Structure 1
Amino acid sequence: MTPPLGRVTPAAGFTLLPRPPILPRARPALVKPSRSLQCVPYARELSGVKLRGDAWTWWNKAEGRYARGAAPRPGAVLVFSKSQRLRRGHLAVVAEVRSSREIVVHQANWLNGGWIHRYSPVRDVSQGNDWSEVRVWYTPGRVYGSRTYAASGFIYPQPESAPVLRQVAK
């Protein structure tokens, strides 16, 4: 189990999870829900993108249903590619765009404990500045993780289902 840092509060249950509050420069935090969560249902609920299946399959499943791209936007779903480390891929929802190379996401089960990770920074480390390779904040250590993860890109929710999140202009 991952040791909690920051403010940790139990959630009432997945369907009753409130949308994360929008806070100026909120710090990364781990939240223990009443039951373990996976990234797919959490991203679906938070973003409004109504896809199913393993996280890595969302990229192809979104084709023709949702706009996709390489630019982060608040409310978009970042799709991590399938790899030896991420056998089912991973999903994270963009909460804030801090710069062309850094975003903040909300995600579930990043460290395989079923926890919700709020306000986790993610950095684009790709050669082409295209978000195809990223590093994710390691909240317990308060540093960026040492691993680089391949990403397929961003799925943009339809306007009527997009959550109200923000972009910070720099």
Structure 2
Amino acid sequence: MQPEKEIKLRLRFYKTSPKSIDAIMASCEKLKPDVSPDFHIKTLDNHIWLSIGARRREKHSPNLHLELDKMEDGNTAINGLFGPDPVLWTLFMFLHFVVAGIFIIFFTIAYSKWTLNQNFGLDLVIMLLMIGLWIALYFIARMLRRKGIPQMHELEDLLDKILD
């Protein structure tokens, strides 16, 4: 996988494995103590979460969520999703909602002033600032993802250890 060339902020991938779901889960449980200080492995039902250990975690450290599905031919389909730290993701979503809310409020005020033939220049400036802030949030997220790419590769290598 080449995350450097992807446009999406949350990268997805799909793999198949000849191992059964139970064998993959057993492999995870067996590998947990060996990688414990550097990585954190959490399992529940047909889901596996891989993340960077607490002593190596940064604000840009990615997480990898794996969903395992049994295929008709006996293989296992693995749906992977890289994502940022949940706290960071929540902060970014909160900021996006605040920016959108402010934009909608000032759009409504500007429209009201326009219909009343009043000056609405300041409202347009604030709306443009919100658009600029939204674009800045996107590029900040891209920058943080780029910093996390080496750790994405580490998580992918850990997945390969689990599947081998």
Q: Which has the larger radius of gyration?
A: 2
Structure 1 or 2: more strand by fraction: 1
The structure whose residues are more often helix, as a share, is 2
